[in-house]
Amino acid sequence: MILTETPKRQLVSKLVTWGHWFTLCNIIVAICIAGIYLFSSALPETALGLFYLIANWFSHIGFLTFFGFVIFMLPLCYLLPNSRFLRAWGSTVAAFGLAFLAFDALLYTRHGLHFSPYSAEFIRQQTDTVLAGLKFHQIIFLLVSFFAWLLFQLLVANSLWQRIERLQKLKIGLPISFGFVTLFMFSHIVHVWADANLYQPVVKQDNMFPLSYPATAKTLLSKYGLLDIEQYRTKKTLQFNNQFERISYPKSSLFCATNPDKKAVLILVDDALETHIERSSPAFGKMLPQHFDLSTSKIAGIKTALYGLPEVFHANLSNKSPILLQLITASGQQVFSYSADDTVAAFFTQHNTVPVQTQSESGEIPAAVNNGLYILHVNASQAEQWIQENNGSTPFLMTYLNPDTRVPAYTNLPVTISNELTSHQDIAATLINYMGCAIQDNLHSTGENLLSGARNWIVSNQQNKIIILHNQLRTEVDPSGNYQLYNLDGSPQNNVELNIPLLGQAIKLLSSFSQAK
């Protein structure tokens, strides 16, 4: 007896084959669209990281596209085996699906996030804003563009259907499937190893593509003794991703007005620490005994003082004014500034401060000031002259710019510090609160308000390392979670255990401002 397929089974088989070819074409298009994610992120610096990126790019996007075929088209090939309907339906699903992928890629490029229930409200607000600004002809253009895209899908679907008999004779389905499965397995195996070893060139790609949940297998590896789970958790706690597209500054909207009757002066002394200024004079007010400048340059020290954030964030703040300056000017006051350094003066001017003129060729800064904030970038002689003429009558905070050292700091503000650690990162929060605006420090700064502060540790960064000062110790943590402990004088300290809860808290504070790539 010779068994032959029924016409319906033949049609179903033909439709399934057409569906696979149609899906393959859209996988290629989807991979091209997903290239947008790569261009909006920094490429890995290692060969393994780059191989993982390529494998994950092709296999993950291919899997998502094929999964769409399995969910939205394959069942209908059996339930409604009508070629015209399926070609129209498949083209519509593909057009919407790839348009949504392009939308998500642009969303990731601009805001560093993917479409999800957590971002839905933000996307709705952004969409309302964009739509409100669209003109009628722009809306028509968008609609025409989508229908052109849908027409393209229909042309591909029909072209494949007309050639399906020829395509069925090509025996390339198995090699293509094998290639994608191999890339898929390779990417997940590499990620399991990278996650266990916290290998940053791979791990930091976790959020690059939408709906990406790479395998970790931490429980399985620890079960068979291949991974020390406690050591893993400790190392992961100490990691900080210093590669990010943008930062949250401030972390939420701030609503606060400063007191228009208040005035204060911030003096940043750009000179050698050993000066002839008599610091024991009552005019100097209170000394901050353990104040640190953890920046790597003087201009970075100035930005740290005004932004309240370490320099790992400064490059992403170039188009944003410090919250300290924003709040004061928004309250109707002015921010005055002085610097003889062209670079520093340009930075002040960029953020709408009013230049202060010196009184003579000697460069004396007027001691009498109006209400508002004055920022003076001066040398030791000018600082001494101002201190003597002011004689404690104007609220001020003075410190020095000397990268990566403990520096003198003085103030006549009612600070509550005794022997606690302070740094340039505390300056912005202190002046904001002194000027009458009581907002949470951690919304805009990694420092704290010294008028009521009680924290006895500092977290900052230098190049790619996290720096934590606490209990007369300096802890340095690299991006992989490796750490070294030193005394504050720079000598190695090997007899003290790492304070993991404190370091986790410090790095969490830094990470709260970052939006990783």
How many other C-beta atoms lie within 10 A of the C-beta of residue 35? 12
Instruction: Output the pLDDT for position 85.
Output: 92
**How confident is the model over 291-316, as pLDDT tens digits?**
999 998 999 999 999 999 998 889 88
Pairing of strands 409-411, 286-287: antiparallel
Q: What is the largest CA-CA distance in the chain?
A: 114
Average pLDDT over residues 209-221: 71
499 with 464: CB under 8 angstroms?
Answer: no
The residues with which 337 forms a beta bridge, in sequence order, are: 355, 375
**How confident is the model over 403-419, as pLDDT tens digits?**
888 898 999 998 877 55
For the chain, list the domains and their CATH numbers.
7-237 (no CATH), 251-516 (3.40.720.10)
Which of 489 and 17 is assigned the larger pLDDT? 17
Instruction: Output the pLDDT for position 53.
Output: 93
Mean pLDDT of the chain: 82
**How confident is the model over 74-119, as pLDDT tens digits?**
999 888 888 899 999 999 999 999 999 988 888 777 666 677 775 6
Pairing of strands 335-339, 372-378: parallel
261 with 370: CB under 8 angstroms?
Answer: no
What percentage of the chain has pLDDT greater than the value 90? 31
Classify 151 in phi/psi space as left (phi over 0), alpha (psi -120 to 50) or beta. Answer: alpha
Q: Which two tokens stand for residue 348?
A: 């002040």
CA 280 to chain centre: 44
Average pLDDT over residues 426-433: 94
* CA distance linking residue 449 with residue 454, whole number of Å: 9
| pLDDT at residue 377 tops 90 | yes
Amino acid letter for position 383: A
Instruction: Output the pLDDT for position 276.
Output: 47
Q: Which two tokens stand for residue 245?
A: 């597209």
Confidence tier at 229 by pLDDT (50, 70, 90): low
